[in-house]
Homo-oligomer: A and B are copies of this chain.
Amino acid sequence: MAQANNDLDKPLERRGLLFVLSSPSGAGKSTLARKLLAAHNAISLSVSVTTRPPRPGEVDGEDYHFVDTPTFKRMVADGEFLEWAHVFGHRYGTPRAAVEAMLENGKDVLFDIDWQGTQQLFQEAGSDVVRVFILPPSIAELERRLRARGTDSDEVIEDRMARARAEIGHWDGYDYVLVNDDIDACFAKVEDILSAERLKRMRQKGLIGFARELMKDPQIRPS
């Protein structure tokens, strides 16, 4: 009989991945990200480092790692971020060491970032990164969704639309491109991509040992 350790009694060990969702504002990225986090335990957001002061109820180390600006700058200089950005006067960054630990433990990390963050992340983490871009089905639909929020003035919407158009121009820096004409269909495609990427040979660290066990079984070694 084959040895017991030949048998697949637990899933093969794998390296996690960095799953990036980008889209122009209003194309559904945040909804997709929320659904993905709710449906899949093995993927989570990384806890960012920020210079923004905590809001009431926010917990240091859970919602964010709160640091002062000199500390943040020192971390940038020391290469401690996979990507970082300056947004409305505050700095936000993804800490490299924490993410690397998650990847090693087979945990996936979700990123809801724009094309510039994606470019930074890809430069730092290469083949660990899976880049997904979400397009709206039409510009008319994008505008309809932005107006449906009912919170923004015409001027703000016009500004958002101009930025959306600029963001769309970067679709070709992504591995996968989806058109979100139906949120459920689009979410199913996002799940397919995550599932397939987890099956990539290069992420499956456990395969080397497993295939070796399969091949060395004494039962079939020619005598």
Tell me if A1 counts as interface (CB < 8 A to partner B): yes
Interface assignment of A140: CB less than 8 Å from any CB of chain B: yes
Interface set of A (CB-CB < 8 Å, partner B): 1-2, 6-8, 12, 133, 135-141, 143, 158, 161-162, 164-165, 168-169, 171-172, 174-179, 181, 189, 191-193, 195-197, 199-201, 204, 207, 210-211, 214-215, 217, 219-220, 222
Asked if residues B171 and A211 are in contact (CB atoms below 8 Å), the reply is yes
Query: Which of B140, B158, B162, B171 is A6 in contact with, Cβ under 8 Å?
Result: B140
Residue of B nearest to A142 (CB): B214
- Check if B201 sits within 8 Å of A139, measured CB to CB: no
Contact of A220 among B165, B189, B200 (CB under 8 A): B165
Residues of the B chain whose Cβ atoms lie less than 8 Å from the Cβ of A207: 171, 177
Q: Are B6 and A181 in contact (CB under 8 A)?
A: no
Q: Are A140 and B1 closer than 8 Å at their CB atoms?
A: yes
Smallest CB separation, A17 vs chain B (Å): 13
Q: Summarize A's interface: helix, strand, loop or mixed.
A: helix
Contact assessment for B138 and A222 in the assembled complex, using a CB-CB cutoff below 8 Å: no
Name the residue among A135, A196, A210 with the largest chain B CB count within 10 angstroms: A196
Whole-angstrom distance from the CB of A7 to the nearest CB of chain B?
5
Once the chains are docked, how many angstroms separate the CA of A123 from the CA of B174? 25
Contact with A177, one of B1, B169, B199 (Cβ below 8 angstroms): B199
Write out the residue numbers on chain B whose beta carbons fall within 8 Å of the beta carbon of A193: 195-196, 199
| A140-B200 contact, Cβ under 8 Å, with A169-B215, A222-B162 | no
A211 to B162, CA, bound (A): 14
- Min Cβ gap A9→B in Å is 9
Whether A177 lies near B201 (C-beta < 8 A) is yes
Docked pose: A130 CA to B1 CA in angstroms: 35
